[in-house]
Amino acid sequence: MRLRIILLVVATSSFLLPLALVLRTQAADRAINTATIQTQGLTPLVATLSPANLRLAVGQLNAQSPQTPTTVFPPGGGEFGRAAPRSAAVRLAARGRSFTAVLPGGVEILVAVDGLSSRGHPRSAGRVRG
């Protein structure tokens, strides 16, 4: 009887552990995909909106999705959205590279954006962080 209980526990554990790992990976993938879609959806706004309207758009996005905070770093300094440091990854994105950076607390989706500001001057957002 004891052997059967031990075998049952071993069999159940050998099934539940891989299942938990798969579910954790799937949840992380879903969060990254959601952040990527939100970031890519914001990209045209960064290229076309005035700074005041962009600040409102990013604020609204953060209010709707607090679990995926977004920050936009304009090239002249400052930031729109959730406060975040200008890391080495942000500086690299400011040079025109888009990529995903792994951080101790999660993942950053960095998208370089080129466009025209409301005054007609070239503007490149250093990062849209999702």
For 92, other C-beta atoms within 10 Å of its C-beta total 17
pLDDT at 40: 84
How buried is residue 18: exposed, middle or buried, by Cβ count under 10 Å (0-12/13-18/19+)? Answer: exposed
Domain ranges of the chain: 2-129
Amino acid at site 109: I
Which tens digits make up the pLDDT trace of 7-55?
788 777 778 888 889 998 898 888 888 888 888 888 888 888 888 999 9
CATH class of 2-129: alpha beta
The mean pLDDT value of the chain amounts to: 80
Per the CB < 8 A criterion, the answer to whether 108 and 129 are in contact is yes
